[in-house]
A = this chain, B = another copy of it.
């Protein structure tokens, strides 16, 4: 049955090479007449249960109706299910309860073999007989063995009594034995790592089941060399040892994360055979030990843009010495392997819909298009969306305001903080305020605050806080030569300070959203679009913001609201896809090659779009899809669109502001 499945191109896992040991090749034969297939599938068409299956069922579990396909002989017409519910084949559970099934075809497989003992009459070397066994039992084409294993192969073969499990890596470059375990070995793991400038996130997955066994995160220790990307590049330029120090720091931090994941999941470092990495171009270069100086100025030349592979030991990671690292390709000097991973995860290239994928960070990395054509760019949004450069801003952490509503009549706000379920006008909030506090406002909170201020008429289309409202409400207060809005009055007893939205905060958000929107617009121009059919917002910020407010403030272009989705750590998902399936590696390599790259710095229209996008909501390209949702001021904006309800065409753009 296993052979038949292989001939038909149906992937059934097998580690033990058809010996009935590993139990991974379970199938369930169906009974009855299948009109669709025009066949009758009867129990007699499958051979009887073998001794090996009974032995397996004794030791482990073989559910009724289940057979080991390596043991069952096809004797006639059959309809067969390859069950997905086998424990060892369980689907991947994403962090934050997102579930995604990733077809498994990892670059490293386990192959159990029984090797012939040495024979003076046919004096092949032990390693050569091992390779012959891999050819005979696993049909590998011209397998090779890693040089570093040659001094170990004799001991391992004798230790396993001539039975060993080989880790065989083949990522399109031919099968290579990268590790040997004496006897039957049934554990093979991989690590997928997203190296952010601020945070490193890592997932440990079973290469055999696809399951995520553990996840962990840690701050990127490079922060001590520079908070943002450009200051890290400067550090390298100013310090001869700077590049080496930052490379060492990030690799060590990843090493600690791996050790943590491995011990948490109850496996050993030797079980980790694959790793994939994503990150923005500067993180990518520093991780690989490449000087990022060229990325600090035009023409922003990457040292390497294609996918990079190497043995993990060459970069000193605490994994199996034969483990292989795969780093996803970068799209451009400002659009990194993280954007490639987000693209792989969200698949605009697999979609008919024109899809906008945005990964918001200090730079927003933007990919737009569908299966026919894709364009990509990066926009310098700055750190405002991450809560930096905002008077009361903070990172998304317990106590940070993340939801805001403002009553358009009274101008009174209500808020929610991370770590609490109640609104501030609800009964339970005082306990939340006591337990977690109200410590600041995070990126998604500031977006809602500004959006609600606009919808309540506190700020006008140009983002100016209307000082006249100070007469109507104490919340609007003069602050220097402008006005501010008091979002949270503070509570001296609980050491909670007041949190205000200042005019400068509004400006910071305006600059950031205009940069992002201008980048998106540039790509829409490139494809001749006025709206998009789906929007996917990746990253922590993108996952937490309410799409409605993103649209109200003009962060994203017009789109059906139900088609705007936060997609979580899509970069991490993309890294896991490349970890679990080498086909996804070829997929993203091919997609990155054909993505058309737009360098915003080179496009004069970027500045035009940027200036036009400063207003709330963008006057030139207003949002028909939003009109069903939002209140008066937005409708007022809509009045400026064409009579057909569509936004005005480009001809009307000049001087619109």
Contact = CB atoms under 8 A, between A and B. Distances in A.
A303 B120 contact: no
Contacts of A330: 125
Contact of A126 (B174, B303, B331, B597): B303
B332 A123 contact: yes
Interface string A2-23: 0000000000000000000000
Nearest to A174: B173
Contacts of A314: 147-148
A441 to B, nearest CB: 36
Nearest to A301: B118
A120 B601 contact: yes
Contact of A123 (B118, B131, B597): B597
A601 B120 CA distance: 9
Given A120-B298, A125-B303, A148-B314, 10 more contacts: A118-B299, A124-B305, A125-B302, A125-B305, A126-B302, A126-B304, A127-B304, A127-B306, A147-B309, A151-B303
Interface in A94-141: 117-128, 131
B333 A153 contact: no
Closest 10 A/B residue pairs (Cβ): A125-B305, A118-B301, A125-B302, A147-B310, A123-B332, A127-B304, A125-B304, A120-B599, A118-B299, A120-B299
B150 A288 contact: yes
A298 B288 CA distance: 48
Interface in A282-313: 288-291, 294, 298-306, 308-310
A289 B288 CA distance: 29
Contacts of A50: none
Contacts of A47: none
A602 interface: yes
Contacts of A124: 302, 305
Interface string A324-357: 0000001111000000000000000000000000
Given A150-B290, A314-B148, A597 B121 contact: yes
A154 interface: yes
Given A148-B314, A299-B118, A299-B119, A125 B602 contact: no
Interface string A167-210: 00000011000000000000000000000000000000000000
Please indicate which of the listed interface residues A128, A155, A333 has the most CB atoms of chain B within 10 Å of its own CB. Answer: A128
Contact of A120 (B119, B173, B305, B333): B333
Contacts of A118: 294, 299-301
A291 B153 CA distance: 10
Nearest to A294: B154
A441 B298 CA distance: 76
A150 B304 contact: yes
A245 to B, nearest CB: 14
Contacts of A597: 121-123
A236 to B, nearest CB: 12
Contacts of A602: 120-121
Contacts of A148: 314
Contact of A128 (B131, B305, B310): B305
A95 to B, nearest CB: 30
Interface of A: 117-128, 131, 145, 147-148, 150-151, 153-155, 173-174, 288-291, 294, 298-306, 308-310, 314, 330-333, 597, 599, 601-602
Contacts of A122: 597
Contacts of A305: 123-125, 127-128
Nearest to A599: B120
A123 B290 CA distance: 17
A288 B154 contact: no
A303 B129 CA distance: 10
A127 B299 contact: no
13 contacts: A120-B298, A120-B299, A121-B599, A125-B306, A125-B330, A126-B303, A147-B309, A147-B310, A150-B288, A150-B289, A150-B290, A151-B290, A153-B304
A391 to B, nearest CB: 36
B303 A150 contact: yes
Contacts of A303: 125-127, 150-151, 153-154
Given A599-B121, A601-B120, A304 B128 contact: yes
A123 B333 contact: yes
Nearest to A309: B147
Given A120-B599, A127-B303, A298-B120, A288 B333 contact: no
B300 A120 contact: yes
A527 to B, nearest CB: 17
A306 B128 contact: yes
Nearest to A314: B147
A121 to B, nearest CB: 7
Please indicate which of the listed interface residues A125, A127, A128, A153 has the most CB atoms of chain B within 10 Å of its own CB. Answer: A125
A259 B308 CA distance: 33
Contacts of A333: 120, 123
B288 A151 contact: yes
A251 to B, nearest CB: 13
A597 B128 CA distance: 16
A333 B131 CA distance: 18
Contacts of A599: 120-121, 123
A150 B294 CA distance: 13
A182 to B, nearest CB: 15
A438 B147 CA distance: 49
A164 B331 CA distance: 25
A150 B124 CA distance: 38
Contacts of A147: 308-310, 314
Contacts of A331: 123
A33 to B, nearest CB: 50
